[in-house]
Amino acid sequence: MLGWPTWIGVVADDLETQRRFYRDALGFEETGSGDGWVHFEFDGRLFELIQRDPSPQYDRKRVQLGFTVEDIHVVRRELIERGVEPISEIEGGPPDGRNFWCYFRDAESNVFEITQWV
């Protein structure tokens, strides 16, 4: 159902400081940004910096993983049936976005994402 992570996110208190670190110190190539996020892509995989905010998926500094799935509705339903704690509804999608996503907690309350590319 889930493959190797295709997305890694870093939730940051100071997005601009983290942006400069990953871009300038580590040499990552920035491929996009918006209000509260910065993207760097590597061979089709996404590394994202996210501004910390009150939402449950971004409420504290941490590293998060994202897993690509074929059908987010089916996988979300199956994970919930298996007792995995959801912390968001499905978000995103067309016409404005390239993917759908939603968030869960693992057994030790670490946050992870599943995403479906469209």
Q: What is the pLDDT of residue 42?
A: 80
Structure confidence by residue, pLDDT tens digits, 11-33: 999 999 999 999 998 889 999 99
State which residues form the domain around 28: 7-117
Whether 18 is in a domain gets the answer: yes
Total domains present in the chain? 1
pLDDT tens digits for range 51-92: 999 999 999 999 999 999 999 999 999 999 999 999 999 999
The pLDDT, as a whole number, for residue 62 is 92
State the CB neighbour count (10 A cutoff) for residue 112.
Answer: 19
CATH code (residue 72): 3.10.180.10
Among 44, 52, 58, which residue's Cα sits nearest to residue 5?
A: 44
In a domain, 15, yes or no: yes
